[in-house]
Amino acid sequence: MAGALAFAAIDSAYLAWRYLALRLALVTPGSSICSWSAYIDCDRVLVTRQANAFFFPNALLGTAFYIGCLVWWFGGKRLGAEYRFHLLRTLVFWLGVASLFTVRFFWLLFHLSHFCPLCPLNHVMTYAAFIFAVILFRRTARPPAHVRVLPLLLLVATCVSFFVIVQVLWFVADSSGILHIPSF
């Protein structure tokens, strides 16, 4: 599960960096590691309106989400075995929600005029992480006693704050006119 989340985080981070680099004109469009032809070109996909959901770049949402999941999992494991059930239950829920969202994004990938080979990998990794989380959750016994809630709340605050801060930084940068969309 952690491997799928890490792969998705790295893949999303590359796409988020590429999206930002295109918007800031720091790179030449069509020069990405996944720009292979006139049809298979991540750069062309990244500048479409479909590359944004709820005003934010999909890749940025994904990067913050996957990093948050990794922080949740590894930070939560440090709390002790008695928290494992609650950690996995939460991951199953949020990876399930993410899987539902990626079904829509997956559909979009095949209806755009260009194809990004890295984008579907995130979707597949989301499904894999979800399946692994479900399997691990089903194998994990409920703790015999109640756990202290405060450590979980602090971990929730950390993960959610990270996600929100990343999106707020994007919003401020975009609203202030720092970013622009290039034309191909």
Please give the chain's pLDDT, 184 residues, in tens: 999 999 999 999 999 999 988 888 888 888 888 889 888 888 888 888 888 877 888 899 999 999 999 999 999 999 998 999 999 999 999 999 999 988 877 777 677 888 888 888 889 999 999 999 999 999 998 888 888 889 999 999 999 999 999 999 999 988 888 776 655 5
Beta partners for residue 40, in sequence order: 115
The span from the CA of 128 to the CA of 182, in Å, is: 34
pLDDT at 120: 86
Identity of the amino acid at 128: A
The span from the CA of 87 to the CA of 91, in Å, is: 6
The span from the CA of 45 to the CA of 37, in Å, is: 12
Q: What's the pTM? A: 0.90
pLDDT at 28: 85
Which run of H or E residues covers position 168? helix 149-175
pLDDT at 183: 55
